[in-house]
Amino acid sequence: MRPYLLLTPGPLTTTDTVKEAMMSDWCTWDEDYNIGIVEVIRKELVEIASSRPEEYTAVLMQGSGSFCVEATLGSVVRPTDKLLVAANGAYGKRMGVISEYCHIDCHVMKFEETEAVDPKVLDEYLTAHPETTHVAVVHCETTTGVLNPLEEIAAVVKRHGQVLIVDAMSSFGGVPIDMAKIGIDFMISSANKCIQGVPGFGFILARRSLLEKCKGVARSLSLDLFDQWETMEKGHGKWRFTSPTHVVRAFLQALKELKAEGGVAARYGRYCENHRTLVDGMRALGYKTLLPDSQQSPVITSFYYPSAEFDFKDFYQKLKAKGFVIYPGKISQADTFRIGNIGDVHPDDFVRLIEAIKETTV
């Protein structure tokens, strides 16, 4: 069932038991599905995300993570509101593009792709622009692997009294986050990331008191976050439109396996050890990391090409033949490639990867 390991930021390598969970068919109207699976998922997601789960709710949404980001921005930010997006990579910039499509009044504050979002710069902007009502930021920007200082950013946003929207696509479930403690109002992630499910839906964790005020704001029928939530609330897990039943059932299995591993803290520890094993091995082979260690997430790691003659496509194919699939780089400033550390992969897998890279280089 595993022709190779996916060392990417998602879709990623999943367990055989998660795959096996998709082998049954489910009726979207049946209580065994809606109450026994969907409602259990919604409850557990909120409990993972917040130390005060009674203040938050979970909305599941068909599609990729970007669908959920667009659903959130388009359903939460009103025509009279002003959005600030702090962007230091492709996914922050994408929020700016979504805002253009949704005709949201938005300013994109651009940082270099190789630097973290600076809370001080954010503070200065919000002081000069008190008309801002919402701030959006990516927690782990997988363009490079940089981990933005979420707690410091949240402290600035809350001091100015704005709503904080966090794209935690590649961090939720793999990096500890407490929405209530930090002060996050809306947080977005996807099934095929650190929870280690498969692609097909994402989810929005929302402060209940704010989501309740979003009726009629949405710019899209399919991506109406309030309507999706209200239908799930009143229908006890019912989706408005056809839900990806097999993927949802696999996600429930993935949640069980997260709990069995020891929760987010234990998974974070494994991902950090994966990253450490990878970086130590790559540096021993002469490869250099794009980011300083202080800004690096344990999710995905960017490496410079080792030489001007380096052929990534050839390197990629040789590693694939040895059972490893990696990622190309995504920045214009330098020639890089990326290796993901998340999914059902373990330190021993990265020891084998380093040996495969050594053999490939030779």
- Write the DSSP symbol of residue 54: G
pLDDT of 290 higher than 70? yes
User: According to the model, what pLDDT value does residue 353 have?
Assistant: 98
User: According to the model, what pLDDT value does residue 193 have?
Assistant: 97
pLDDT of 339 higher than 90? yes
Residue found by looking up tokens 């040789």 in the block:
318
Average pLDDT, the chain: 96
User: According to the model, what pLDDT value does residue 294 have?
Assistant: 92
Rounded (10°) CA dihedral 320, 255, 186, 295: -40
ω into 11 cis (within 30 of 0): yes
pLDDT of 333 higher than 90? no
- 108 forms beta bridges with 85
User: According to the model, what pLDDT value does residue 67 have?
Assistant: 98
Two tokens at 111? 């940082």
36-46, pLDDT tens digit by residue? Answer: 999 999 999 99
Residue found by looking up tokens 């990696």 in the block:
326
User: According to the model, what pLDDT value does residue 2 have?
Assistant: 72
Average pLDDT of span 325-332: 89
16-259: what fold?
Aspartate Aminotransferase; domain 2 (3.40.640)
117-148, pLDDT tens digit by residue? Answer: 999 999 999 999 999 999 999 999 999 999 99
Of 207, 325, 349, 163, whose CA–CA distance to 270 is shortest? 349
User: According to the model, what pLDDT value does residue 111 have?
Assistant: 96
Collapsed DSSP state (helix, strand, coil) of residue 285: coil
Two tokens at 337? 């490639």
Q: Between β-strands 300-304 and 163-167, what pairing exists: parallel, antiparallel or unpaired?
A: unpaired
95-107, pLDDT tens digit by residue? Answer: 999 999 999 999 9
User: According to the model, what pLDDT value does residue 362 have?
Assistant: 63
- Band (pLDDT 50/70/90 cuts) for residue 3 is confident
d(C-alpha 64, C-alpha 247), whole Å: 12
| CATH architecture label of 5-10+263-361 | Alpha-Beta Complex (3.90)
Percentage of the chain beyond pLDDT 90 is 96
Alpha-helical runs (H) found in the chain: 16-20, 31-33, 39-49, 65-76, 90-101, 119-128, 150-159, 179-182, 208-211, 225-234, 245-261, 263-284, 312-321, 347-361
Residue 333 vs residue 262, higher pLDDT = 262
96 neighbors 108 (Cβ within 8 angstroms) = yes
159-184, pLDDT tens digit by residue? Answer: 999 999 999 999 999 999 999 999 99
Two tokens at 306? 């080792």
User: According to the model, what pLDDT value does residue 235 have?
Assistant: 96
Rounded (10°) CA dihedral 292, 297, 12, 326: 0
Find the range with the poorest average confidence among 61-65, 74-78, 251-255, 357-361. 357-361
| Angle in degrees, CA 198, 201, 204, rounded to 5 | 125
Average pLDDT of span 217-245: 97
236 neighbors 91 (Cβ within 8 angstroms) = no
Of 314, 57, 38, whose CA–CA distance to 179 is shortest? 57
- Band (pLDDT 50/70/90 cuts) for residue 331 is confident
Average pLDDT of span 234-244: 97
Q: What strand order describes the sheet that includes 106-110?
A: 56-62, 201-207, 186-190, 163-167, 134-138, 83-87, 106-110
- Band (pLDDT 50/70/90 cuts) for residue 10 is confident
4 neighbors 325 (Cβ within 8 angstroms) = yes
- 325 forms beta bridges with 6
Residue range(s) in the chain whose domain bears CATH number 3.40.640.10: 16-259
Two tokens at 277? 């094993």
74-96, pLDDT tens digit by residue? Answer: 999 999 999 999 999 999 999 99
Q: Which segments of the chain are extended strands (E)?
A: 5-6, 56-62, 83-87, 106-110, 134-138, 140-141, 146-147, 163-167, 186-190, 201-207, 300-304, 324-325, 327-328, 336-340
pLDDT of 70 higher than 70? yes
- Band (pLDDT 50/70/90 cuts) for residue 1 is low
Two tokens at 279? 């970086």
pLDDT of 312 higher than 90? yes
The helix-helix angle for 90-101 and 65-76 (nearest 10°) equals 50
Residue range(s) in the chain whose domain bears CATH number 3.90.1150.10: 5-10+263-361
